[in-house]
Amino acid sequence: MSHPNATLTPRTRLRLARLIVEQGWTCTAAAKMFMVAAKTARKWAQRYRTEGAAGMADRSSRPQHSPTRTPGHLVRRIVRLRWRMRLGPVQIGGRLGLPASTVHAVLVRCRINRLSQIDRVTGEPLRRYEHDHPGSLLHVDVTKFGNIPDGGGHRFVGRAQGDRNRAATPGKPRNAYRNPKIGNAFVHTVLDDHSRVAYAEIHTDETAATATMVLRRAVAWFADLGVTVERVLSDNGSAYRSHAWRDTCAELGIIPKRTRPYRPQTNGKIERFHRTLADGWAYARFYPSETLRRAALPGWLHFYNHHRPHSSTGGKPPVTRLTNLPGHHN
């Protein structure tokens, strides 16, 4: 495509060439009229004679042969060092005896010039995916947060006062050091892959019985939103490898899927949601007790689903992607 300030567009080239070829104008006179060089006018006239109007279109300026281009075997070695060792252009160039600028050009051409485009663990290029409609895939997982003692936890009141608050919390068993066991809040989360709409419940464990109950209620909750669940993706936790989980999925007509062992990136959407959950709810403000923090979870989930802009949905709340939401088109 011609740039905005180009003197000759494909249409103007055709007019120039026709003046010379069909109307008998000299190249010098036609070039003067269109304010270009006579050599340029002669070029377009010759191309019009051989190719006709189709020859006036823009062509790629890429050369047909690049003798100084980095050989393929060096490109493969550069990419291998980048993937496996996550080295920069200077380090790779030092190992291979190449200028850093050459290495950087190869990395840009292979689209791995930024480390954010490479998996931090494996060094392989990131493979992002998104299912095309709500309910096609649900991500499920469990995250846990330490319970807050009465009076507040150490994150807001300091380590010393937090220990005193924990020691003064009544009704808690003691460990071998006579310190009270505050316990953990196990948050079972369910996330729709396409819309990022989230569902969560807090429990005292992460057993298969609890996980299956959460799945049943989550499927019913999504059904109220007009979403039919087809698949569910989990990690390889014991609850998701159990017969109870398999049987529950079969009863609900859902296909269970699990991530590859030691590969949490496959379930990365819900892992990222857990970080948002921690920043936006669990540690967002001071809670004087665990009861008050748990009471704040439903309100935060409503804010997340209905009001909080999400980067993956174009800056709109996740619920806007549920096009079959009852009342959505009223």
Q: How many CB atoms lie within 10 A of CB 131?
A: 15
Residue position matching structure tokens 């469990």: 142
Q: Are 291 and 161 in contact, with CB atoms under 8 Å apart?
A: no
Q: Which residues of 276-295 are buried (b: 16+ CB within 10 A; e: fewer)?
A: ebeebbbeeeebbbbeebbe
* Token representation of residue 14: 């055709």
Write down the architecture of domain 138-147+183-321 according to CATH.
2-Layer Sandwich (3.30)
Q: Give 329's pLDDT tier (boundaries 50, 70, 90).
A: very low
The C-alpha atoms of residue 205 and residue 73 are separated, in whole angstroms, by 53
The C-alpha atoms of residue 39 and residue 28 are separated, in whole angstroms, by 9
Q: Give 305's pLDDT tier (boundaries 50, 70, 90).
A: very high
The C-alpha atoms of residue 293 and residue 118 are separated, in whole angstroms, by 37
Q: Are 235 and 258 in contact, with CB atoms under 8 Å apart?
A: yes
pLDDT: is 4 or 296 the higher one? 296
- The residue-averaged pLDDT of 104-121 equals 77
- The residue-averaged pLDDT of 17-24 equals 92
Q: How many CB atoms lie within 10 A of CB 113?
A: 17
Burial of 101 (0-12, 13-18, 19+ CB in 10 A): exposed
Please say if the pLDDT value at position 325 is more than 60: no
The C-alpha atoms of residue 307 and residue 164 are separated, in whole angstroms, by 38
The C-alpha atoms of residue 218 and residue 228 are separated, in whole angstroms, by 11
Amino acid at 137: L
Q: Is 60 left (phi over 0), alpha (psi -120 to 50) or beta?
A: beta
Q: Is 253 left (phi over 0), alpha (psi -120 to 50) or beta?
A: left
- The residue-averaged pLDDT of 85-93 equals 85
Mean pLDDT of the chain: 85
How far apart, in Å, do the first and last CA atoms of the chain sit? 44
**How crowded is the C-beta side of 178, counted as CA atoms within 13 Å?**
1
The C-alpha atoms of residue 324 and residue 134 are separated, in whole angstroms, by 9
pLDDT: is 172 or 19 the higher one? 19
Q: Which pLDDT score, from 0 to 100, does residue 121 have?
A: 53
Q: Residue 295: CB partners within 8 Å, gap ≥ 6?
A: none
The C-alpha atoms of residue 41 and residue 54 are separated, in whole angstroms, by 16
Amino acid at 256: P
Q: Which range among 65-79, 95-109, 169-183, 284-298 shows the weakest confidence by mean pLDDT?
A: 169-183
pLDDT: is 162 or 227 the higher one? 227
User: Given CA atoms 163, 168, 173, 176 in this order, what sign does their dihedral have?
Assistant: positive
DSSP run (H or E) holding 212: helix 208-224
Structure letter (DSSP) for residue 269: H
Helix-helix angle 100-109:89-96, to 10 degrees: 120
Q: What is the pTM of this model?
A: 0.61
**Strand 231-234 relative to strand 255-258: parallel, antiparallel, unpaired?**
parallel
Amino acid at 274: H
Please say if the pLDDT value at position 330 is more than 50: no
Q: Are 165 and 153 in contact, with CB atoms under 8 Å apart?
A: yes
pLDDT: is 117 or 169 the higher one? 169
Please say if the pLDDT value at position 140 is more than 70: yes
